[in-house]
């Protein structure tokens, strides 16, 4: 278990700026996945991400990074978090600039601070285990130079995630094993994914990182010096609250993910092999998987009717009748209806992008 002193220096950085398209028509720019109410269970995924930390990291040490469109909503949703810790980036530059900015905020406050980076739109079915994993990661990351990822033990040959190849066992805390990361693998083909999973030597990369703020700052100076200089200028002028400097400098930072910018290049990269019931609920298909079903395998509200219909997901305020159809996603909002193939749910995002380019912007 991490010592008390380690935990006293633990800070969460929750990434809540996403504006994905895969849950259209329910999710929109102004109401992205992490802020949807009731679609993935009670409350929003953002609230649950915070609640899941329990007493491990209290609200006064939680930072939320989002965009200007969502800042007010999030302040209203999470009144426990000091408003100055809810930061709106002036432009979307992917995760490396965001986490660089976060590292400086935390470092200024606590030079010994350790960052726990968490997406705001995932589900974790085993929160106790999750906190145990974080304690192990915090403990291991509380040494200068170490980067720790939360690696998920794969439960299927998923082709939508990056994979981490495990190297030697580096440590173990409370049954949580920490491995050296041998290499990062891009989203694989179905065939390659099957090989990865069968080998037992790979973990999913779920985008959760733990490292000292000082370690990330040092790594950015080494691998992304130009970005590090920009972030340094923002930090010198007072950080995320110095809006003028932020607005001038931040939008010109390189748009790149933390994986590409730092994690894949750094020297001491580790992964905790976690079994925490993790799901990124990446599409309507996964919402279907999570919901209770009727005897015909339809996940549907009471105000619906199915005849000779199997395996459908229905999300609608309006009454829906499904007749003789199979494995569909049927989603209704006040201004749009989606009818999609549940086995090609990832195409919903493509359809929304294509719709936007054809001029249906108001529906985005």
Residues 6+ apart with CB under 8 A from 288: 299, 313, 329, 342
Q: Is 282 in the site for its own copies (CB under 8 A)?
A: no
Q: Which of residues 189 and 341 has its CB atom nearest to its own copies in the complex? A: 341
Q: Is 30 in the site for its own copies (CB under 8 A)?
A: no
Q: Which of residues 266 and 345 has its CB atom nearest to its own copies in the complex? A: 345
Q: Is 360 in the site for its own copies (CB under 8 A)?
A: yes
Cβ 188 to its own copies shortest distance, Å: 23
Cβ 122 to its own copies shortest distance, Å: 24
Burial 36-46, CB ≥16 within 10 A → b, else e: beebbeeebbb
Per-residue mark of binding to its own copies, 291-330 (x: CB under 8 A)? --------------x-xx-------x-xxxxxxxx--x-x
Q: Which of residues 222 and 350 has its CB atom nearest to its own copies in the complex? A: 350
Cβ 347 to its own copies shortest distance, Å: 5
Exactly one of 69, 91, 192, 355 binds its own copies (CB under 8 A); which one?
355
Instruction: For residues 65 and 17, give the distance between their C-alpha atoms in angstroms, rounded to a whole number.
Output: 6
Q: Which of residues 4 and 335 has its CB atom nearest to its own copies in the complex? A: 335
Q: What is the distance, to the nearest Å, from the Cα of residue 259 to the centroid of all Cα atoms in its chain?
A: 13
Cβ 287 to its own copies shortest distance, Å: 15
Instruction: For residues 20 and 160, give the distance between their C-alpha atoms in angstroms, rounded to a whole number.
Output: 15
Question: Are the CB atoms for 141 and 3 separated by under 8 Å?
Answer: no
Neighbours of 307 (CB within 10 A): 10
Exactly one of 17, 25, 100, 206 binds its own copies (CB under 8 A); which one?
25
Q: Is 361 in the site for its own copies (CB under 8 A)?
A: no
**Which contacts of 245-251 are long-range, i.e. CB under 8 A and separated by 24 or more positions?**
246/90, 247/90, 250/89, 250/90, 250/91, 250/93, 250/97, 250/101, 251/90, 251/91, 251/93
Q: Is 1 in the site for its own copies (CB under 8 A)?
A: no
Question: Are the CB atoms for 209 and 114 separated by under 8 Å?
Answer: no
Question: Are the CB atoms for 338 and 329 separated by under 8 Å?
Answer: yes
Q: Is 128 in the site for its own copies (CB under 8 A)?
A: no
As given in the structure block, the two tokens for residue 154 are: 């794969």
Q: Which of residues 271 and 348 has its CB atom nearest to its own copies in the complex? A: 348
Torsion of the alpha carbons at 357, 286, 210 and 105, rounded to the nearest 10: 40
* Interacting residues with its own copies (CB under 8 A): 24-25, 305, 307-308, 316, 318-325, 328, 330, 332, 335-341, 343-344, 347-348, 350-352, 354-355, 358, 360, 363
């Amino acid at each position: 278990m991490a010592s008390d002193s380690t935990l006293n220096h633990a800070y969460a950085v929750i990434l809540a700026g996403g504006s994905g398209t895969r849950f259209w028509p329910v999710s929109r720019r102004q109401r992205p996945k992490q802020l949807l109410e009731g679609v993935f269970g009670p409350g929003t995924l953002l609230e649950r991400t915070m609640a899941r930390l329990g007493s491990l990291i209290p609200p006064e040490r939680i930072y939320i990074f989002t965009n200007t469109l969502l800042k007010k909503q999030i302040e209203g949703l999470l009144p426990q978090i000091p408003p100055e810790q809810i930061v709106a980036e002036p432009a979307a530059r992917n995760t490396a600039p965001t986490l660089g900015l976060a590292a400086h905020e935390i470092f200024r406050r606590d030079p010994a601070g350790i960052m726990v980076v968490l997406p705001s739109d995932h589900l974790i079915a085993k929160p106790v285990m999750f906190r145990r994993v974080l304690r192990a990661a915090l403990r291991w990351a509380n040494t200068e130079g170490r980067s720790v990822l939360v690696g998920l033990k794969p439960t299927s040959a998923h082709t939508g995630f990056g994979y981490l190849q495990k190297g030697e066992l580096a440590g173990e805390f409370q049954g949580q094993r920490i491995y050296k990361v041998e290499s990062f693998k891009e989203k694989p083909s179905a065939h390659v994914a099957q090989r990865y999973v069968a080998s037992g030597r790979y973990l999913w990369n779920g985008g959760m990182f733990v490292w000292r703020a000082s370690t990330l700052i040092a790594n950015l100076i080494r691998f992304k010096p130009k970005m590090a200089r920009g972030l340094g200028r923002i930090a010198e002028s007072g950080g995320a609250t110095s809006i003028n400097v932020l607005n001038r400098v931040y939008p010109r930072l390189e748009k790149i993910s933390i994986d590409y910018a730092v994690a894949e290049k750094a020297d001491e990269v580790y992964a905790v092999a976690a079994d925490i019931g993790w799901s990124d609920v990446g599409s309507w298909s996964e919402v279907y998987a999570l919901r209770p079903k009727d005897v015909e395998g339809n996940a549907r509200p009471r105000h619906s009717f199915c005849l000779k219909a199997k395996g459908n997901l229905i999300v609608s305020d309006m009454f829906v009748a499904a007749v003789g159809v199979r494995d569909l996603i049927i989603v209704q909002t006040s201004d749009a209806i989606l009818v999609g193939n549940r086995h090609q749910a990832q195409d919903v995002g493509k359809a929304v992008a294509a719709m936007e380019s054809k001029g249906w912007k108001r529906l985005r």
